[in-house]
Every structure is written in structure tokens, then in C-alpha cells.
Amino acid sequence: MAAVVAVTSSVVTLFAQAMHAPGSSQVLPAVMAGVVAGSLILLRQWRKSIQLSRTSAARSQYLLNHDPVTQLPNLNGVVSLLEEQRRRALSLGEDPTYGAIVCVGLTRLQEIYDNLGHDCGDAVLAEIATRLQGVFDEVDRAARVGEDVFAIVVGSLTRAKLAVLSGQLNRLMDMPVATPAGSVIIGSAVGVSFPDASCTDPHEAIRQARLALSAARNARGTIAFFEPEFDQSSKLRLELTRELRAALVDGALRMVYQPQVDERGDLVGVEALMRWTSPVRGEVPPTVFIPIGEASGLGEALGLFALGAAFRDSKRWPGLKVAVNVSPVQLKSTEFVPAVRRLVEHHAVRPSDFELEITEGVLLDADPVVSASLDDLRGLGFSIALDDFGTGYSSLGYLSQFEVDKIKIDRSFVVNLGLRPDATAIIKAITDLAEALGVKVLAEGVENGAQLKILRAEGCKLAQGFYVGEPATAEGIDDAMAAPSASGSLKAAA
């Protein structure tokens, strides 16, 4: 679309120049013919690009929301279903709780894959999916949410009825399954959650059912209902919050930088990632301490620490784009943009040298502060990358409403490249979509040369991952910049 706008404006400029040029009466017919022909070409290209973006979006949407083996919704799919159910209930003034969620875990699936091979494993999964769909009349109620775990959105049933249903499900899984290698018995356990009104996140609702499933499996039982005690994390959370607060003050946090390369393997950017080495616990992963920090009011401080360090270190690498993760919590604060402005001035950096990574949920958030923050940040010159693309939401409609500069394909789509043909189809669908929308596309989590080769063949030019370079200290990136080949010398430096 941006290209169409750009060509349209040059045609208009040309026309305007011709009108004012001396001897314009001779050149005008030729220019007019050029303008008409140009406009027709543009119109055709525009239609084609709209059509392409619609078909790619529909295809990507299906692939992103369904499990290719069973054709059931995957985790994304069921999360969207629950989101939609909640939105509808809220708009109708009805009870927005998720009802019961049942997770069925297959006992011997891995054994079958290991001993009887892929075809048998896939045949078992397909048969189990058919059986589950036979139990529930509504489409899309059952989803495959893990290797050997299915989740079923049951609605409101009493505990007694759920116990009966769980027993039936286990019996259904105990019936022999025919495979190319003969008949096998899979076995199962069931975990049930009834998320209460405080649970407004579908991921959390499913996590509770999975915790119940683990409890059933650990007890070598077949059914368990979620109990808050299964969640051991509350005490740990409090302790971590206290320690993190201290870490922010005493300098125990630091940033590392992971290389991003272009199609020639040249280093073109780095992603800033936060690290915390706790004196008592050792290395605490950011996936643990950032959400805990944000839930306890430390989100802004953590975010500004990351930006400040990235601004300071970026001076070492002129020409590299430095990407910094920005969380929804930061964007929701009216203090964020003014604080970023102050940091830009303090470090005397150019915002156009930086990319802010946001997740899909941010774009779907109707919060006006979030949209205003994003507009302001773009206005300052920052570019915006959509992180973990494909993991969050099923609707891709937001992509045509909000301008982003880059899509980062989540590593869960990269990991199967070369192993499953559908993995390549997903990458192709996303790169087509990105091309139709005129945005850059980068693949995350590239761990081997085979993946990189497929990605490049499918038109994904930018890459990040352990194969390209592990997260490294600022000095490690200095060394990589100094090395004759920009990538590949970073592995030891993290």
C-alpha cells in the first residue's frame, strides 16, 4: 500500500511539473497518456496486492490457529475461542467466566512415536481427534494444546457431571486405536479447571487445567480437579519481587544483545535482552522476573533500565539497529513517552536507530493510552516490530489497521522447518502476507543452517537465533562488528 501511495504521489508530481513547464502544450498529451497508463497499472497492482493480502491473511490465519496433524484448533485457536466467548458474554451482560476446561493427556503417545514411527503417531492423534469431536457436537470445542494434550471447552457443568464426563473421556482413550503397525492402546489422564471470575486470561484458564492434569499424572491417577495449592508460585513471587527491587538499585541487572543478520549474513541489528544474576538464586530468566516485576509495579523501572542501557551501548555500533522489548504495561502508562523523550535527550541518540518490539496483544488493546503512546513513539522516529508473531491472537485484521515496520516470526514456527512440510507453508504464508503489507519479516530462534536455508528460500531475509549468534555482552558485539564476517564469532561471548 505504501508503494502505491508513493508511486501515485510521483505521478501527481510529474503531472504538476509538466503543467508548469515551458512548452507544456506539446508534452502534455504524452504526460497525460503516461499518467493514465501509470494509473491503470497502479490500480491493477493495488487490486492484486489487496487480493494477495486477503488470501495470505486467510491462509495464515487458518495455519496459525490449527494443528496440522489433527486439523483441530491449536493453543492459539482455543485461546481465541475463549477470548471471543468472553467478549460476547460481556457485551450481552452475561457471565464472562470461561466455564470448565478439561485437559486430556495421552499416556503412551510418545512411546508410539518412538517405537512405531511418525505415521503411527500421527494416525493415533487423528483418531483421538475424531473421537473427541464425536463427543462434543459443537465444532472447535476440542483443541490440541500440546504434543500429547487436548483441551476441551466444556461450558458450565456441575463438578459431579464433570467427573462423569472425565471418566467417559478416559474410557474413550482406552479403546484400541488402529494404526498401520496394528492396534494400540493409548491410555489417558484428565485434569479439570473451573477458572473463577478473577481469571480473565484464557492462557491462565488452560494452564490451570494443565496443572490439574499434571497432578493427576503425578498421582498416577486418572482425574484431578484444579486446586489453588497446585500453584506453588505465590510465595516465590513475593520473594522474587523483593529481590528484584533490590537488583534494580544495586546494579544486578544488565543487558545482553543478540545479533540479527540479513540475507547475506551481515550483522544489521541486535535485540537487547535483560539479564538478572541473583546473588541467591543465580541466573533468573527474564520470562520469570519480568512478569513478576510488572505485576508488582516495577514494570516501568525495568523498561527504562533496558532503554537507557540500550541507548548508551548503541553508541558503540553506529549503523546497527538496536531493538528493545517494550511491554504492554509500559505502553499503558502516560508517563512512558515523556520518560522515553527524556532518555533520548539525556543520551543524545536518534530514535530512528532503534526499534521497539511489541506483542500482538498490544495492538488489539483498545486502551487509548496505548494507541497514543505508539503514535507518539512512531512520531519521534522509533520503528515498531511485532514480536512473537503468530503466538497471540487469531485475528490478523489488526495488521491492516496499525502500522508496524517489521514482523518477527515466533520461533515455534521455525523449529519444525525441515521436519514437517506444513512448517514451510506457514513461513511462506507469513512472508507473503508481510510482502503484501510492505513490512519486513525476521525469523526468530534459527538454530541450524537447514532452517536458515528454508527461510531464505521462502523470502524471509532477516534472521536471529543461536545459529546466527547467541545473546552477547556489548563487548561481544564489538568483537563481532570488528570480525571480517559479521556473524558467527559470537557464540563464546554471551
Q: Least distance from C-beta 5 to ligand C2E, angstroms?
A: 31
Q: How many CB atoms lie within 10 A of CB 129?
A: 19
The catalytically annotated residue of 444, 447, 458, 470 is 444
390, interface contact from Ca ion, ligand C2E, none, CB < 5-8 Å by kind = none
Give the one residue of 15, 46, 398, 466 binding ligand C2E; rule: CB under 6 A. Answer: 466
CA–CA separation, 431 and 62 (whole Å): 15
CB of 305 to ligand C2E, least distance (A): 8
- Grouping H, G, I as helix, E, B as strand and the rest as coil, residue 231 is coil
Give the cell for residue 37.
Answer: 497508463
Selected from 357, 360, 432, 458, the binder of Ca ion by CB under 5 A is: 357
121 binds ligand C2E (CB under 6 A): no
Stretch that binds Ca ion, among 78-86, 160-168, 278-286, 350-358 (CB under 5 A): 350-358
Q: Which is nearer to ligand C2E, 162 or 304 (CB)?
A: 304
Q: 348-387 mask for ligand C2E (x: CB under 6 A)?
A: ---------------------------------------x
> Count of alpha carbons within 13 Å of 475, Cβ hemisphere only?
4
Say how many Å lie between the first and final Cα of the chain, rounded: 40
CA nearest to 245, candidates 307, 283, 305, 293 = 293
- 182 dihedral zone (left: phi>0; alpha: psi -120 to 50; beta): left
Q: Which of helix, strand or coil describes residue 386?
A: strand
For the stretch 311-325, what's the b/e string if a residue is b when 16 or more beta carbons lie within 10 angstroms of its beta carbon? bebbeebeebbbbbb
Q: Is 19 exposed, middle or buried (0-12, 13-18, 19+ CB in 10 A)?
A: exposed
Q: Is 111 in the site for Ca ion (CB under 5 A)?
A: no
94 catalytic, yes or no? no
Residues 155-174 binding ligand C2E (CB under 6 A) are none
Q: How far is the CB of 361 from ligand C2E (least distance, A)?
A: 12
Q: Which residues pair with 322 in a beta bridge?
A: 270, 354
Residues in binding contact with ligand C2E, number by CB under 6 A: 20
Contact string (CB under 6 A) for ligand C2E, positions 251-270, x = contact: -------x------------
Q: Computed over its alpha carbons, how large is the radius of gyration of the chain?
A: 26
Query: What does each C-alpha distance from 177 to 72, 111, 150 come to in angstroms?
Result: 18, 14, 17
Give the 3-state secondary structure of residue 127: helix
What's the min distance (Å) between Cβ of 388 and ligand C2E? Answer: 6
* Options 74, 325, 383, 424; binder of Ca ion; rule CB under 5 A: 325
In this structure, what C-alpha cell is assigned to residue 348? 543524545
Q: Which H or E element spans position 182?
A: strand 182-184
Give the residue, chosen from 122, 140, 262, 447, that forms a contact with ligand C2E under the rule CB under 6 A: 447
The widest CA-to-CA distance across the chain, in whole angstroms, is 92
CB of 248 to ligand C2E, least distance (A): 13
Of 229 and 283, the one with the shorter C-beta distance to ligand C2E is: 283
> Is 285 an interacting residue with respect to ligand C2E (CB under 6 A)?
yes
3-state class (DSSP) for residue 453: helix
User: Which of ligand C2E, Ca ion, none does 274 bind, CB closer than 5 to 8 A by kind?
Assistant: ligand C2E
Segment contacting Ca ion by CB under 5 A, of 114-122, 354-362, 413-421, 467-475 = 354-362
By the criterion CB under 6 A, which residues form the site for ligand C2E? 258, 273-274, 285-287, 290, 306, 325, 327, 387-388, 411, 444-447, 465-466, 471
By the criterion CB under 5 A, which residues form the site for Ca ion? 325, 357, 387-388, 444
